[in-house]
Amino acid sequence: MDAVIIDTIPLTIDEPGFLELMRIRPESRQAGEFRKLLSEARHIARPKAAFRPAYLETSDEDSVTIEGTRFSSRVLTINLREPHLVFPFIATCGAELQKWATTIHTTLHCFWADSIQLMALGCAVAALDAHLREITGSEKLSAMHPGSLEDWPLSEQIPLFNVLGEAPGRIGVTLTHSMLLMPLKSTTGIQFVSEDGFTNCMLCPREDCPGRRVPFERHLLEKKYNVVPGRSRRT
């Protein structure tokens, strides 16, 4: 199937909530500076996302083949035992916003611009999720991201880009030799319907992660997926 491009995504930011998050008093001079910056960003920002409906073809213990491309991950393989249709995806804050951010030089404003880019990425991901919920008719979507778990390293960006074909280029995202996405506020992965529900945090042992959404479940990692953190896979 062909990739689907979503490129009419507005930058929607809860301004009062953002000011509170940044600990900026609404009537302060800093609040005025932030509002000016946000106004610029809203005119420039073009968050984007793309996905490709793809079929699972074959799998073995530690790998799965999707649209002729092999992915090496025991966790991914087990998660994709049930769904036959999956959705490799990519989302980004947009090259336009990153270019704008490079014109900002004061430390505080750079921090705000970085936060705005992150929220623009969030808008792109939200639009993608809504589109996939409509297509699948399911609210039970889960996702895996290369590099989020030891079992599925960043190097797996390469086969993911292969499956996505021209879609990354069409929304202005490139992959560097060191596996970084450009613009930096971009993300990739595979979405799939899961009745059990899955999030990478469940299998990530990093205790100090600021983005943790659910507790680490070591027993799940070891029993269901047969993986021990920091060690080679069990046989």
pLDDT in tens, 131-154: 999 999 999 999 999 998 888 999
Cβ–Cβ contacts within 10 Å for residue 113, how many? 22
The answer to whether the beta carbons of residues 50 and 4 sit under 8 Å apart is yes
**Which of these ranges, 123-127, 163-167, 196-200, 221-225, has the smallest mean pLDDT?**
221-225
Q: How far apart are CA 35 and CA 48, in angstroms?
A: 23
Q: Where are the domains of the chain?
A: 4-198
- Average predicted confidence (pLDDT) for the chain: 90
The model carries a pTM of 0.89
The answer to whether the beta carbons of residues 205 and 229 sit under 8 Å apart is yes
Indicate the pLDDT class of residue 230, thresholds 50, 70 and 90.
low
pLDDT reported for residue 61: 86
pLDDT surpassing 50 at residue 232: no
Alpha carbons within 13 angstroms on the beta-carbon side of residue 68 total: 5
CATH number for domain 4-198, candidates 3.40.950.10, 3.40.109.40, 3.30.530.20, 3.20.20.150: 3.40.109.40
- Residue 219 CA, chain-centre distance (Å), reads 26
CA angle 141–155–115, rounded 5-degree value? 60
pLDDT surpassing 80 at residue 29: yes
Assigned token pair, 170: 């069409």
Q: What is the mean pLDDT of residues 216-230?
A: 69
pLDDT reported for residue 28: 96
Cβ–Cβ contacts within 10 Å for residue 183, how many? 21
> Which ranges of 52-183 does DSSP label H, i.e. alpha helix?
74-79, 95-101, 107-136, 157-164, 167-170
pLDDT surpassing 50 at residue 234: no
The answer to whether the beta carbons of residues 85 and 54 sit under 8 Å apart is yes
pLDDT reported for residue 235: 40
> Which ranges of the chain does DSSP label H, i.e. alpha helix?
15-21, 29-44, 74-79, 95-101, 107-136, 157-164, 167-170, 218-223
Q: How far apart are CA 109 and CA 145, in angstroms?
A: 30
pLDDT reported for residue 228: 64
- Could you tell me how many residues make up the chain? 235
Backbone angles phi, psi at 5, to 5 degrees: -105, 130
Percent over 90 (pLDDT), the chain: 75
